[in-house]
Amino acid sequence: MLRDVEARVIRNTRLSRDYNVIALAAPEIAEATQPGQFVMVKSGRGGDPLLRRPFSVFEVLRSNNRVEGLTLLSKRVGVTTKILYDAVEGDTISCLGPLGRPFDLVDPPTEAWMVAGGVGLAPFATLGDALLAHGVKTTLFYGARTGGELFYLDWFTSRGIRLVLATEDGSIGDKARITIPLDRELQEADGEVVIYACGPEPMLEAVAHVAAKHKRTSQVSVERTMGCGMGGCYSCVIQVRSEAGSERTRPAHYVRSCIAGPVFKGEDLVWD
Amino acid sequence: MLRDVEARVIRNTRLSRDYNVIALAAPEIAEATQPGQFVMVKSGRGGDPLLRRPFSVFEVLRSNNRVEGLTLLSKRVGVTTKILYDAVEGDTISCLGPLGRPFDLVDPPTEAWMVAGGVGLAPFATLGDALLAHGVKTTLFYGARTGGELFYLDWFTSRGIRLVLATEDGSIGDKARITIPLDRELQEADGEVVIYACGPEPMLEAVAHVAAKHKRTSQVSVERTMGCGMGGCYSCVIQVRSEAGSERTRPAHYVRSCIAGPVFKGEDLVWD
Amino acid sequence: MKTLSGTDLSVQIGALRLKNPLIAASGCFGYGVEYAEAVDLSTLGGVAVKGLFLKEREGHPPERIVETPSGMLNAIGLQGIGVHRFIREKLPELRQLRATVIVNICGSTLDEYVELARILSDAEGVAALELNISCPNIKEGGITFGCSLHGTFDVVSAVKKVTPLPVIPKLTPNVTDVASFARASEEAGADAVSLVNTFLAMAIDVETRRPKLSNIVGGLSGPAIRPIAVRMVYECRRAVKIPVIGMGGIASARDMLEFIIAGATAVQVGTANFVDPFIWGKLLAGVTDYVRRHNIARISDLVGTIDTTSREKQWISS
Amino acid sequence: MKTLSGTDLSVQIGALRLKNPLIAASGCFGYGVEYAEAVDLSTLGGVAVKGLFLKEREGHPPERIVETPSGMLNAIGLQGIGVHRFIREKLPELRQLRATVIVNICGSTLDEYVELARILSDAEGVAALELNISCPNIKEGGITFGCSLHGTFDVVSAVKKVTPLPVIPKLTPNVTDVASFARASEEAGADAVSLVNTFLAMAIDVETRRPKLSNIVGGLSGPAIRPIAVRMVYECRRAVKIPVIGMGGIASARDMLEFIIAGATAVQVGTANFVDPFIWGKLLAGVTDYVRRHNIARISDLVGTIDTTSREKQWISS
Ligand SMILES: Cc1cc2nc3c(=O)[nH]c(=O)nc-3n(C[C@H](O)[C@H](O)[C@H](O)COP(=O)(O)OP(=O)(O)OC[C@H]3O[C@@H](n4cnc5c(N)ncnc54)[C@H](O)[C@@H]3O)c2cc1C
Ligand SMILES: Cc1cc2nc3c(=O)[nH]c(=O)nc-3n(C[C@H](O)[C@H](O)[C@H](O)COP(=O)(O)OP(=O)(O)OC[C@H]3O[C@@H](n4cnc5c(N)ncnc54)[C@H](O)[C@@H]3O)c2cc1C
Ligand SMILES: Cc1cc2nc3c(=O)[nH]c(=O)nc-3n(C[C@H](O)[C@H](O)[C@H](O)COP(=O)(O)O)c2cc1C
Ligand SMILES: Cc1cc2nc3c(=O)[nH]c(=O)nc-3n(C[C@H](O)[C@H](O)[C@H](O)COP(=O)(O)O)c2cc1C
Ligand code: FES
Ligand code: FES
């Protein structure tokens, strides 16, 4: 059920000069969230900044089997992400969700390969957990500019998620875009593999192409500017060829990525 | 010299549900402030709230003979005063000042009677100190709605300032407006007395009349809506009969209370 | 319709009685159904659905919105499913949700407005027509009508001839004298006017020197424009006898009351719904509380009750 | 005039060369002298002083301003000391401070504008005249000129006839097509146009149901209006060859650059000076940093360089 929660900041961990993980006391939302869904966050008083901003739910926080809240992995790029970066325990952040179409989970023996670029890591903590709970063998391909911007590596490995890393400066893993090792490993993979991706759009496009080249399906989570997150404003549109979930193809047309997405099949999207 | 200081909140003491005293690390301003002058405060990020708000300098904070900063006595009535009320140590508040014409000090044997209504107490801590330093015998007439809203009584008495109190509900002092005991005592006073007043305009008007009735001069500090505090916008005007500091009288006309005041001679003002 | 306390929030727009003066603004509430999870649509005075053309439209490419101080620009370009799919796919659900549906219509020609009005008059569950002659974002939209007194008169009278539904032209604020457009509308037989649509505006990315919107210009909405919108509603209220439906930056019950006191019989809320889709109950609660505190029996008694006398007195005295 | 790094910030307005494009906006900087403690006036491109009538004026009674979301309303009513006292009491000090003084003049009749222009042309230390034909707050002010193309043409040409000073009509945004007023100004011989003045607006206290301003309506300024002002500057730049001086909500170097890229040869800053009287150095530093980063030799090369092509391509491709 959709909820708007004035969530207290439980803690705020700065991971680097730009990245932070903020924990919010919004258990009702956390409980209802499926992997790939997002919340619309409003920080700051008054009309400036005015609009909410979308953030993937990063972790669902549990203690003693009770859901305590959720975290967001945020990268500082502007006014709201600065407020999230600077927030301290006890501040409140208004949090609306859960919103959007989640990832479709797969079943074994199909493997899941998650591909994250930068802050695109955000949806893969909850997705990874859900896949593991399904018994799905899971890999995380994770790329960033530099090794210092690869976070939560232990979190994933300790759960048994295999890591494949790449950095543009080569400080950790391949000195390459993450699609290079992805392509290489797909070349060699023989079982069923579904690819999940989140990151900058050029990366998503490359992932979708690599997946298609190897005859694998991909589910990509896109980031468009969102005014409302609920289908009200038509700001967040993206061109698709066919309706999500339908086999009928139509000429390229705009759909609202907040309710038809943010997760789309890679092959449905029209890359421009 | 005029300064704009991004002042750190040193501490914030809540006196009641509406009143607080906030200490700001703006020593350069504090040092230069004369009794009756004010600062323009900007709290909150972004454009909402947009404009600064005027506040009298309440105390000049000293430790070991060094000026540390200043305090503001604030009453919560709207958006900025709410931010000041809620502020915590480490926040920053932008503080522009010192601004405005200060009170004219008197010399002994003239006595000083300060008359404060509610948050109009604010300029009288620094004025009281300055008068005492001049060796002037000083009394504070201080009125509020109820005894719980009379603050800093010890602060004044410990310095040797005589207190005359009045509350509308009679919980402390006279059950009356503060101008009642003022009128009564002026009736009996025979020495020279100068009256300083700050509070709601109807009170200032009554004080000016009482003073005039007893042939005493008054200096009143008025509160008009101020957009800039520096003479730039002409929002803060008040009607006067003669120019401050000049003997030439003119027909009633508007002057900018931020630079011609906020302190005026009671007899110069046109009450509407 | 009275509330428990006996307060009557209902208002009259032409032949249409709204249960309260709170309407979701067109283009800010999808087709209404998107918000059914956040608000019981039957509790709203009305739901103005997203602007419809006869045909489906793709709208402008992204970027379609950009935030500005206390406001936002949009250049959606009236993406929409067209009137036929609307009637087939959305109207039944809106009827089921017991929404009072106001359909916002847009045409490139006078005939298109007429055709749309005809089609919608035959559909079940349409309460009123709002004529969008004021969208700043598309050249072929009704703005050519909305910026000409003759055009406004012509489109309103043509539509009135073919529909029994209340007709509400939506006025643009991008004119010198909005009240004259309200007058032209009234003369043409409009049942009410609504205003304001958005203000033509733009934003530039200084690093790339490109407009932030793909369409270069867009429409400004949100709290930033409220003081201008309130003034325009005030002017229109004094110019015409038909009801004025006011909007522009309403984000609290206080803002809503400001419009009503300025002269709005009903109000619409757009941008604020993006920020808080649960705002509707808060607005109605706030207004109910106000009329109770002020002992106002009917909200309609509050419409246009702005008191300018004492100010004028003060003015003369100086 | 070049900065140390060789960047040339100077711009040309008619015969007048400003050392940089940053001007203090009229009515927001007193008579300039009030701000001498906060900013060295000689470092500014210009100082537009508070609007002057021939005679002294008392202006409106308080309340004269009210804050609104990211903006403010004012209805000062052009309180002022009149042109004679200005020349006597303020101009000598401004000369001494080496300010480039732009005098903003207001009249009730065409003759008053002409008379003011004559008087000021004889005074020493006036660099240009800005014709305020756009004050929304007083009925007798030039707004009757500013809202009519003929009126604008007439007042500009009449003033041009009697003064050798650059003449800059200041346009109101409260019109349907601001570019046509820029064109009328150009045809009448204006050396530049400046825009925008404030947007006519109002605010109501819902508890008392009274307007918050004594004058009922006032003018909206500040960041709230910036996107509309940028659009208007962009339109005017495309309509005329004379320089456009842009303003409306500038509060950062980025905002200033937005106006310049949209087409402003120079800019004015009003409301933001109330919030930060030390803003001037920050704006100039920010702009200098930008032109350096972007390897722009002369700020005048940046004027009107908005790039709409790639957007149009994207648009066509969809
Ligand atoms: C479904 C979804 C999920 C998201 N999840 C996350 C997440 O988990 N963590 C996270 O950090 N971010 C996430 N984002 C992106 C996030 O919403 C933006 O970074 C955020 O809106 C920026 O807000 P701001 O106020 O800080 O920046 P603004 O002040 O609004 O913008 C500052 C600058 O950044 C640019 N900008 C704004 N949004 C984006 C963007 N999406 N991509 C690139 N540049 C942009 C603007 O154009 C502007 O130039 C998600 C976006 C979507 C659509
Ligand atoms: C020279 C001077 C010195 C001052 N010193 C102090 C001081 O030391 N301590 C202090 O608490 N206040 C002081 N004030 C008053 C203070 O400036 C206002 O209370 C403040 O501007 C309110 O800001 P806000 O954002 O909280 O309220 P807003 O949100 O701006 O206003 C909220 C409501 O309060 C009303 N309001 C705003 N200002 C006033 C006012 N001055 N009087 C009555 N109602 C008002 C508004 O009309 C509105 O209805 C002083 C004012 C002046 C001119
Ligand atoms: C994203 C968006 C889309 C809009 N679409 C329409 C529309 O289709 N038809 C219309 O008449 N008005 C449209 N408007 C204008 C609003 O209905 C309303 O007039 C305007 O936004 C002012 O109200 P607000 O400040 O409450 O948003 C749109 C506004 C926004 C922000
Ligand atoms: C308090 C105030 C007084 C003003 N007085 C004048 C004036 O006398 N003459 C004039 O042409 N414009 C006047 N203006 C308009 C400004 O010069 C400017 O055009 C407008 O405020 C927009 O710029 P801003 O958003 O930077 O303030 C005034 C504006 C304000 C806020
Ligand atoms: S964000 Fe508003 S429709 Fe998608
Ligand atoms: S507050 Fe601006 S002139 Fe006094």
Ligand 4 neighbour D27 (Cβ under 6 A):
yes
Q: Do D210 and C308 meet the contact criterion of CB atoms below 8 Å apart?
A: yes
Query: Is D244's pLDDT higher than 60?
Result: yes
User: For every residue of chain B, which 3-state class applies, written as one string?
Assistant: CCEEEEEEEEEEEECCCCEEEEEECCHHHHHHCCCCCEEEEECCCCCCCCCCEEEECCEEEEECCEEEEEEEEEECCCHHHHHHHHCCCCCEEEEEEEECECCCCCCCCCEEEEEEEHHHHCCHHHHHHHHHHCCCCEEEEEEECCHHHCCCHHHHHHCCCEEEEEECCCCCCEECCCHHHHHHHHHHCCCCEEEEEECCHHHHHHHHHHHHHCCCCEEEECCCCCCCCCCCCCCCEEEEEECCCCCCEEEEEEEECCCCCEEEEHHHECCC
Ligand found nearest the CA of C232: 3
Q: Which of A77, A198, A233 to mutate to test the pocket of ligand 1 (most atoms within 8 A of CB)?
A: A77
Compute the mean pLDDT over every residue in chain B, rounded to the nearest whole number: 93
User: For every residue of D251-267, which 3-state class applies, written as one string?
Assistant: CCHHHHHHHHHHCEEEE
User: For every residue of C237-265, which 3-state class applies, written as one string?
Assistant: HHHCCCCEEEECCCCCHHHHHHHHHHCCC
Do B116 and B140 sit in the same domain of this protein? yes
Closest residue of chain B to D80, computed from CA coordinates? B234
Q: Do A61 and A72 meet the contact criterion of CB atoms below 8 Å apart?
A: no
Q: Which two tokens stand for residue C97?
A: 């949700």
Query: Is D318's pLDDT higher than 80?
Result: no
Q: Sheet harboring A218-221: ordered strands across? A: A174-175, A162-167, A138-144, A111-117, A193-198, A218-221, A263-265
CB contact under 8 A, D261 and C226: no
Ligand 5 neighbour A232 (Cβ under 6 A):
yes
Distance, in Å, from the CA atom of C216 to the CA atom of D29, rounded to the nearest integer, reads 33
Helix (H, G, I), strand (E, B) or coil at D231: helix
A vs C, Cβ pairs < 8 A, gives 93
| Nearest CA-CA partner of A164 in A175, A154, A174 | A174
Q: List the residue whose alpha carbon is closest to atom 3 of ligand 5.
A: A231
pLDDT confidence of residue B43: 84
Do B218 and B228 sit in the same domain of this protein? no
The region, left, alpha or beta by phi > 0 then psi within -120 to 50, assigned to residue A265 is beta
Distance, in Å, from the CA atom of B209 to the CA atom of C160, rounded to the nearest integer, reads 66
User: Is D135 noted as a catalytic residue in this protein?
Assistant: yes
The DSSP secondary structure of D145-204, one letter per residue, reads HHT-HHHHHHHHHHHHHH-SS-EEEEPPS-SS-HHHHHHHHHHTT-S-EEE--PEEEE-E
**D287 has a chain C CB within 8 A of its CB:** no
**How many structural domains are present in chain A?**
3
pLDDT confidence of residue C310: 62
What lies within 8 Å, CB to CB, of C272 at 6+ separation is C222, C223, C249, C250, C251, C279
What lies within 8 Å, CB to CB, of A148 at 6+ separation is A16, A171
Do B38 and B86 sit in the same domain of this protein? yes
Q: Do A223 and A203 meet the contact criterion of CB atoms below 8 Å apart?
A: no
Q: Sheet harboring D71-74: ordered strands across? A: D65-68, D71-74, D217-221, D199-202
Domain span at C285: 11-59+76-198+219-317
Distance, in Å, from the CA atom of A259 to the CA atom of A229, rounded to the nearest integer, reads 7
Do B113 and B211 sit in the same domain of this protein? yes
What's B198's domain CATH number?
Answer: 3.40.50.80
Q: Side chain identity at A182, as an amino acid letter?
A: L
Distance, in Å, from the CA atom of A35 to the CA atom of D88, rounded to the nearest integer, reads 74
Ligand 5 neighbour A49 (Cβ under 6 A):
no
Ligand found nearest the CA of C226: 3
Do B14 and B75 sit in the same domain of this protein? yes
Ligand 6 neighbour B233 (Cβ under 6 A):
yes
pLDDT confidence of residue D138: 58
Q: Do C227 and A50 meet the contact criterion of CB atoms below 8 Å apart?
A: no
Closest residue of chain B to C69, computed from CA coordinates? B47
What lies within 8 Å, CB to CB, of D223 at 6+ separation is A48, B47, B50, C68, C69, C70, C224, D70, D71, D249, D251, D255, D271, D272
Do A129 and A189 sit in the same domain of this protein? yes
Distance, in Å, from the CA atom of A185 to the CA atom of A181, rounded to the nearest integer, reads 6
Q: Which two tokens stand for residue D245?
A: 């001086």
For residue A113, the tally of other CB atoms under 10 A from its CB is 24
Q: List the residue whose alpha carbon is closest to atom 11 of ligand 3.
A: C132
**B42 has a chain D CB within 8 A of its CB:** yes
**pLDDT tens, residue by residue, D110-169:** 999 999 999 999 999 999 999 998 766 656 556 667 788 999 999 999 999 999 999 999
- Which residue, of B99, B123, B156, is where some domain finishes? B99
Do B107 and B210 sit in the same domain of this protein? yes
Do A108 and A215 sit in the same domain of this protein? yes
Exposed / middle / buried, residue B88 (Cβ in 10 Å: 0-12, 13-18, 19+)? exposed
Helix (H, G, I), strand (E, B) or coil at A78: coil
What's A81's domain CATH number?
Answer: 2.40.30.10
User: Nearest-CA distance from A79 to chain D in Å?
Assistant: 15
Q: Do B49 and B93 meet the contact criterion of CB atoms below 8 Å apart?
A: no
Strand partners, B54: B40
Do B78 and B158 sit in the same domain of this protein? no
Tens-digit pLDDT string for chain A (272 aa): 899 999 999 999 999 999 999 999 999 999 999 999 999 999 876 777 999 999 999 999 998 889 999 999 999 999 999 999 999 888 899 999 999 999 999 999 999 999 999 999 999 999 999 999 999 999 999 999 999 999 999 999 999 999 999 999 999 989 989 999 999 999 998 889 999 999 999 999 999 999 999 999 999 999 999 999 999 999 999 999 876 555 566 788 999 999 999 999 999 999 87
**Which residues, judged by CB distance below 6 Å to any ligand atom, belong to the binding site of ligand 1?**
A 38, 49, 53-56, 72-75, 77-81, 119, 122, 223-224, 226, 262
Least confident of D15-19, D289-293, D306-310: D306-310
Distance, in Å, from the CA atom of B128 to the CA atom of B113, rounded to the nearest integer, reads 10
Chain D residues within 8 angstroms (CB to CB) of chain A: 69-70, 223, 314, 317-318
Q: Which two tokens stand for residue B100?
A: 């405005």
Catalytic residue among D28, D135, D147, D236: D135
Ligand 2 neighbour B134 (Cβ under 6 A):
no
- Which residue, of B43, B76, B99, is where some domain finishes? B99
B vs D, Cβ pairs < 8 A, gives 93
What lies within 8 Å, CB to CB, of A9 at 6+ separation is A22, A23, A24, A25, A87, A88, A89, A90, A91, A92, A93
Residue ranges of C 54-73 with Cβ closer than 8 A to chain D: 58, 60-61, 68-71, 73
What's C87's domain CATH number?
Answer: 3.20.20.70
Domain span at B267: 224-272
Distances (CA, A) of D282 to B187, D150, D222: 57, 41, 18
Do A229 and A214 sit in the same domain of this protein? no
Helix (H, G, I), strand (E, B) or coil at D86: helix
Q: Side chain identity at D1, as an amino acid letter?
A: M
**pLDDT tens, residue by residue, D50-72:** 999 999 999 999 999 999 999 99
Ligand 4 neighbour D185 (Cβ under 6 A):
no
pLDDT confidence of residue C315: 31
Distance, in Å, from the CA atom of B56 to the CA atom of B73, rounded to the nearest integer, reads 8
**B237 has a chain D CB within 8 A of its CB:** yes
DSSP secondary-structure letter at A266?
G
pLDDT confidence of residue B249: 63
**Angle, helices D226-239/D253-262, rounded to nearest 10 degrees:** 30
In this structure, the strands spanning D22-24 and D199-202 are unpaired
What phi, psi does D280 have (nearest 5°)? -60, -50
The region, left, alpha or beta by phi > 0 then psi within -120 to 50, assigned to residue A118 is left
Q: Using an 8 Å CB-CB cutoff, list chain D residues near A47.
A: 69-70
**pLDDT tens, residue by residue, D87-112:** 999 999 999 999 999 999 999 889 99
- Which residue, of B99, B115, B140, is where some domain finishes? B99
Q: Using an 8 Å CB-CB cutoff, list chain B residues near C70.
A: 47-48
In this prediction, the residues of chain C whose per-residue pLDDT falls under 70 are 1-5, 135-144, 310-318
Ligand 6 neighbour B160 (Cβ under 6 A):
no
**How many structural domains are present in chain C?**
1
> Where does the pLDDT of residue D312 fall: very low under 50, low under 70, confident under 90, or very high at 90 and above?
very low
**Angle, helices D279-293/D253-262, rounded to nearest 10 degrees:** 60
Query: Is D171's pLDDT higher than 90?
Result: yes
Distance, in Å, from the CA atom of D44 to the CA atom of B21, rounded to the nearest integer, reads 39
Chain D residues within 8 angstroms (CB to CB) of chain B: 27-30, 34-35, 37-38, 50, 58-59, 62-67, 69-72, 74, 76, 79, 222-224, 251, 271, 273-278
**pLDDT tens, residue by residue, A165-213:** 999 999 998 998 999 999 999 999 888 999 999 999 999 999 999 999 9
> Where does the pLDDT of residue B48 fall: very low under 50, low under 70, confident under 90, or very high at 90 and above?
confident
User: Nearest-CA distance from C248 to chain D in Å?
Assistant: 12
The DSSP secondary structure of C151-199, one letter per residue, reads HHHHHHHHHHHH-SS-EEEEPPS-SS-HHHHHHHHHHTT-S-EEE--PE
Q: Look at residue C1 and tell me if it is in a domain.
A: no
Do B47 and B115 sit in the same domain of this protein? no
**pLDDT tens, residue by residue, D189-224:** 999 999 999 999 999 999 999 999 999 999 999 999
How far, in Å, from the CA of C203 to the mean position of ligand 4? 21
**Angle, helices D178-187/D226-239, rounded to nearest 10 degrees:** 40
How far, in Å, from the CA of C51 to the mean position of ligand 3? 9
Q: List the residue whose alpha carbon is closest to atom 10 of ligand 2.
A: B74
Q: Look at residue D227 and tell me if it is in a domain.
A: yes
Q: Using an 8 Å CB-CB cutoff, list chain D residues near C133.
A: none
Exposed / middle / buried, residue D84 (Cβ in 10 Å: 0-12, 13-18, 19+)? middle
CA gyration radius, chain B: 18
Give the one of C29, C79, C251 whose C-beta lies nearest to A232's C-beta.
C29
Distance, in Å, from the CA atom of B152 to the CA atom of B132, rounded to the nearest integer, reads 17
Do A149 and A215 sit in the same domain of this protein? yes
User: Nearest-CA distance from B47 to chain A in Å?
Assistant: 6
Q: Which two tokens stand for residue D117?
A: 């222009």
CB contact under 8 A, A48 and D317: no
Q: Side chain identity at C248, as an amino acid letter?
A: G
Q: Do D287 and D267 meet the contact criterion of CB atoms below 8 Å apart?
A: no
B vs C, Cβ pairs < 8 A, gives 9
The region, left, alpha or beta by phi > 0 then psi within -120 to 50, assigned to residue D267 is beta
Q: Which of D67, D206, D210, D213 to mutate to test the pocket of ligand 2 (most atoms within 8 A of CB)?
A: D67
Q: Do D218 and D174 meet the contact criterion of CB atoms below 8 Å apart?
A: no
Q: Which of B228, B240, B264 to mutate to test the pocket of ligand 6 (most atoms within 8 A of CB)?
A: B228
